[in-house]
Amino acid sequence: MSVSTQAVVVGAGPAGSAAALVLARAGFEVVLLERGPYPGSKNVYGGVVYGRILDELIPQWWESAPIQRWITRRSTVVLTESQALSVDFRTQRWKGQPFNGATAYRSEFDQWLASQAEKDGAKLLCSTTAVGLIKEGGKVVGVRTDRPNGELYSKLVVACDGVNSLLAKEAGLYEDVDANNFTLGVKEVWYLGKKEIDNRFGLSMNEGVDIEILGGTNPIAGGGFIYTNLDTLAIGAVLRLTDLAASRKRPEEIVARLRSHPAIAPWFLGSHLVEYSAHLIPEGGYHSMPRLVTDGLLVAGDAAGMCLTTGIWLEGINYAIGSGAIAGKVAAAALARGDYSSSMLSKYETELHHSFVLGNHRRLRHLPHLVLSERLQSRYPQALCNVVESMFTVRDPLPKPRLSRLVRAELKKAGVRGTELLSDLLSILRDLQ
């Protein structure tokens, strides 16, 4: 027996819950589908929740959100096989309201965000997978689910079904999918205890640290991360799919090697593994995104490739929430007008471009591929660490080396041509200015 509603949102992750919340708050009937037994049961991430986008959706969200620690320390670490160079920043401003970023378990955070949508009237339907689209006259008018007689008709569908979206593909919104635009995120969670974490990372109360790592996954392009939960440490890596396949290595081997690095291993002494997980990440950036609308359908979050990975900024959940909220806003306007055409829904793309979501992706569109290039992954980290090591190696009675000579020598040793360095610097400055 088929059922009808005004809007269907597929996927109760951050994008889907934000879209459902906005639609429900606007007074429309919306069904939020989740394939897992509860929101967040199948979701994985290795990073930090940045909550500014929540300020308008859920005022003073920090009072109810299930946060583990507030990030007050951010480190970037460059690794070679035997070296580590860190840039470490701390600020007490991030410790108080309205807070900058926080660690959280997705199983808890996603349930909380979905519950906010339910409070505003959205109907959450778990253990239900959208297996395809329902079309009439070329227009999307609902989804087929894996439930018996599970057709769910609607005026609009918002696809938030995650990376490699089956619904967006079925709608013809994706062109050729390039495996080089995807990484595999692999994460381990190790129990250590709050006191030990505080002592080892110099933290107190509910302070937390986020550590991003470059150069720890060679020869596979990618990066690593470590962050603190209340009583556990998360460590993981993001690995370019094509490189991982060519290496014939298992992802857990790469994480184990990262965890055993001399600069990292002491943090994990005495801990024990409590969780292992992995998932795909869309890292191609602006140029790899699909078309975002068609008649009766909008695409948001990871399903639209909206994950910002630029080396300096590695963010996903805030972009998912932002795109979902804008999708909900445009969907509500379309329902109010009774116009579900791609022309009407194209306002979604316009609003995304005027927001931080596509505004940042468009401006920083060259950086994702540069970050995954062989030079930034291998040659620059080695040269940089060697320069710093040489600077601080005492050679008495020899005179101190000239920095310019050191830099030229190490770049040459690493196989970096001057034209390559200049080209990369100009690319970075062009996007960051």
238 and 380 in a single domain? The answer is no
In a domain, residue 83? The reply is: no
Same-domain check for residues 252 and 344: no
> Is 220 a member of any domain?
yes
User: Dihedrals φ, ψ of 378, to 5°?
Assistant: -130, -55
* CA angle (195 as vertex; 194, 200 as ends), nearest 5: 100
Question: Is 160 a member of any domain?
Answer: yes
The CATH number given to whatever domain includes residue 191 is: 3.30.9.90
Are both 275 and 388 inside the same structural domain? no
Domain boundary pick from 345, 364, 383: 364
Does one domain contain both 270 and 193?
yes
Choose the final residue of a domain: 364, 381, 408: 364
How far is the C-alpha of 183 from the C-alpha of 240, rounded, in Å? 4
What's the pLDDT score for residue 89?
A: 96
Residue 214 CA to residue 212 CA, distance in Å, equals: 7
Q: 414 and 385 in one domain?
A: yes
Q: Are residues 190 and 302 in the same domain?
A: no
Are 64 and 117 in a shared domain?
Answer: yes
Q: Domain residues for 357?
A: 3-68+104-175+290-364
Last residue of a domain, one of 266, 282, 298: 282
- 196-252 confidence digits (pLDDT tens): 999 999 999 999 999 999 988 988 999 999 999 999 999 999 999 999 999 999 999
- Report the CATH number that the domain containing residue 37 is assigned in CATH: 3.50.50.60
Looking at residue 411, the DSSP 8-state letter turns out to be H
The contacts of residue 257 (CB under 8 Å, 6+ apart) are none
In a domain, 84, yes or no: no
Specify the pLDDT at position 154: 97
- Domain identity same for 391 and 404: yes
**pLDDT given for residue 2 in this prediction:** 67
Instruction: Tell me if 227 is assigned to some domain.
Output: yes
Residue 366's pLDDT is what? 87
Same domain? For 272 and 408 the reply is no
What's the pLDDT at 74?
96
Q: Is the peptide bond before 98 cis (omega within 30 degrees of 0)?
A: yes
Q: How many domains does the chain have?
A: 3
154 and 185 part of one domain? no
Domain-embedded: residue 133: yes
Partners of 280 in beta bridges: 184
Residue 80 lies in a domain: no
Q: Are residues 9 and 63 in the same domain?
A: yes
pLDDT of residue 429: 84
Closest C-alpha to 5, from 152, 161, 158: 152
Which residues of the chain are modeled with pLDDT < 50? 1
Task: Examine the domain organization and report whether 60 and 148 are in the same domain.
Answer: yes
Tell me how far apart the 2 most distant CA atoms of the chain are, in Å. Answer: 88
| Per-residue CA distances from 142 to 3, 11, 39 (Å) | 10, 14, 21
Residue 82 lies in a domain: no
Model pTM score: 0.94
Q: Where are the beta strands (DSSP E) in 17-137?
A: 30-33, 49-50, 69-79, 84-90, 101-103, 123-125, 130-136
Return the pLDDT at 369: 85
Q: What does the pLDDT read at residue 38?
A: 96
